[in-house]
Amino acid sequence: MSKTETKARAGEGLSPAQDVSEAMQGFVHEFKGFQADLTTKLQQTEERLTMLDRKTMTAARSPLAGGVDQGAPHQKAFNAYVRSGDDDGLRGLELDGKSLSTAVNSDGGYLVDPATSETVQSVLNATASIRSIASVVNVEATSYDVLVDHGDVGSGWATETSNLTETDTPTIDRITIPLHELSALPKASQRLLDDSAFDIEGWLAGRIADKFSRAEAASFINGDGIDKPMGFLAHSTVNDEVWTWGNLGYVPSGVDGSLTADSIISLVYALGATYRANASFVMNSKTAGLVRKLKDNDGRFLWSDGLSAGQPAVLMGYPVLVAEDMPDAATDADAIAFGDFASGYTVAERPDLRILRDPFSAKPHVLFYATKRVGGDVSDFAAIKLLKFATA
């Protein structure tokens, strides 16, 4: 029983002010007790959270064998197939055409996982090959057709009373680019494949890309079209003054086996203005060494290096692609090409890259037979001009 209640029962009356004061004192006392209890509980909760954080941040022990692999299913299945030949994981995956995930092929090969395929593709695009400046298209068929319009719709001036005459009709030509099988055959020892610290995907992608880039670079320039792409230098050439469709036009350098600054200028302006805006020079290192020495009439070099790392050199304001498969400077050699290769040369390829594991043919090594379908050919004969190191 409270003091107030005792006094009230004893007949001692309290004024209203004293009653309120007593009530406020009791409330403050109870509130302080509640605040103390709340503070204690908060401190306990904070201590428990701190202990949990310390346990979470403690460095975990390295996982032993049987640890959970966090990789994507297709990557784990592909690694298992490459390392040990276990294809059970691959057979359970469905083919995803967009991501090129693994799937079983009828001939026993497997499509590589997306990471390997993208790595190979990025290396091919970055190498010093015609691919880097040509038009590249992905196809699902065995060939790719390019339609070329040889003319424009005719037109003429007419008056109100004159009779209309029939105008010329443009002609359409079809160029078919067949796809051929490009292959690579890297090998690795089984002991190396068994090493879990070995980056199998990176190694395999690098070896495949290296072989593919070398083979492609040569065929896009000099390929004869038999079981390989048709190189642009494999087509017949004629003097640009009498050029006709189906041939590549050339400009004589004026010097037998060499060239002059004037011949470079003539080559540039032999190409139509429509193509010059996106044109590039293509030559090998030996020819580039000769071109670097050329000067104009004011003594200024025609060649200038890139302003920053990674930028190509520039010749008369146009980028230079140094492709080692171009012929050396010699008598009658078409050692320099100039043109809009995005219009003039087309690379057609299937997007899939297949791997077949062979552990038997080269014991104790394991062979990896990688294949890709690719083709290439000239798609516009007016878009590429050549410099022939000859007097005529």
State pLDDT tens for residues 2-55: 555 554 444 455 677 777 778 788 777 787 877 888 888 888 888 777 776 665
Average pLDDT for 267-272 = 95
| Sign of the dihedral defined by the CA atoms of residues 14, 19, 21, 25, in that order | positive
Whether residue 149 is found in the same domain as residue 86: yes
Least confident of 95-99, 217-221, 252-256: 95-99
Least confident of 100-109, 169-178, 247-256: 100-109
Q: How far apart are CA 285 and CA 240, in angstroms?
A: 25
Nearest-10 crossing angle of helices 114-126, 73-84? 80
Whether residue 360 is found in the same domain as residue 284: no
Whether residue 121 is found in the same domain as residue 259: no
Tally the domains of the chain.
2
Q: How many helices (H) and strands (E) does the chain have?
A: 11, 17
Whether residue 300 is found in the same domain as residue 371: no
Structure tokens at 164: 């209309």
Q: pTM for the whole thing? A: 0.69
Q: Bigger pLDDT: 347 or 45?
A: 347
Q: Is residue 163 part of a domain?
A: no
The CATH number assigned to the domain holding 295 equals: 3.30.2320
Residue 101 has pLDDT above 60, yes or no: no
Residues 6+ apart with CB under 8 A from 151: 168, 169, 170, 171
Whether residue 196 is found in the same domain as residue 334: no
Q: Is residue 148 part of a domain?
A: yes
Identify the pLDDT of residue 51. 72
Whether residue 361 is found in the same domain as residue 337: no
Q: How far apart are CA 159 and CA 182, in angstroms?
A: 60
Whether residue 264 is found in the same domain as residue 370: no
Q: What is the mean pLDDT of the chain?
A: 79
Identify the pLDDT of residue 17. 75
Q: Is residue 19 part of a domain?
A: no
The CATH number assigned to the domain holding 187 equals: 3.30.2400
Which among 245, 258, 278, 233 is positioned nearest to 386, based on CA atoms? 233
Which among 263, 267, 312, 268 is positioned nearest to 290, based on CA atoms? 263
Average pLDDT for 115-124 = 73
Q: Is residue 287 part of a domain?
A: yes
Domain of residue 204, residue span: 74-154+168-227+349-377
Whether residue 88 is found in the same domain as residue 211: yes
Q: Is residue 56 part of a domain?
A: no
Q: Is residue 5 part of a domain?
A: no
Whether residue 217 is found in the same domain as residue 298: no
